[in-house]
Amino acid sequence: MKENIPTKEIILDTGITVTIPVQFEYAKCKGCPADDLIWATTASGRSMPIRYDTIKGVWISHFSDCPKANNFRSKNGKDVITVNNLKKGKL
């Protein structure tokens, strides 16, 4: 049985709204040195790593700034989370 974990909504720099747990632990990227990631959930239920860009003062998808992001994309191209899809509201 799944617990109800309290969440809050975050608006990314692309204008997309995602949810994150109110209490969380930072995650580390497997493709780069980033260690300040939070796993968010999109409106369609997909998981997405996000982080707070302290220089810009906004939340961003880690897919937009990870140099190894292509390593984590689906091989068949189906249901891929990309920055373009986020901007188009597809997720």
Question: pTM value?
Answer: 0.75
Q: Does a structural domain hold residue 78?
A: yes
User: Does some domain include residue 2?
Assistant: no
- On whether residue 57 sits in a domain, the answer given is yes
- SS3 of 37, please? strand
Give dist(CA 87, CA 69) in Å, integer. 17
Q: How many domains, in total, are found in the chain?
A: 1
For 20, the domain range is 7-88
Q: Within a 10 A sphere around the Cβ of 77, how many other Cβ atoms?
A: 8
Q: With respect to residue 30, please indicate whether it lies within any of the assigned structural domains.
A: yes
32 within some domain: yes
CB 51 within 8 A of CB 15: no
pLDDT, tens digit (0-9, with 9 covering 90-100), for 31-85: 999 999 999 999 999 899 999 999 999 999 999 999 998 887 766 555 455 555 5
Q: What pLDDT, on the 0 to 100 scale, is given for residue 4?
A: 85
Which residues, including other chains, have CB under 8 Å from residue 2's CB and lie 6 or more apart? none
| Residue 68 within a domain | yes
Q: Is residue 1 part of a domain?
A: no
Q: Buried b / exposed e across 43-75, counting CB within 10 Å, b at 16+?
A: eeeeebbbbeeeeeeebbbbbbebeebeeeeee
| Residue 19 counted as domain residue | yes
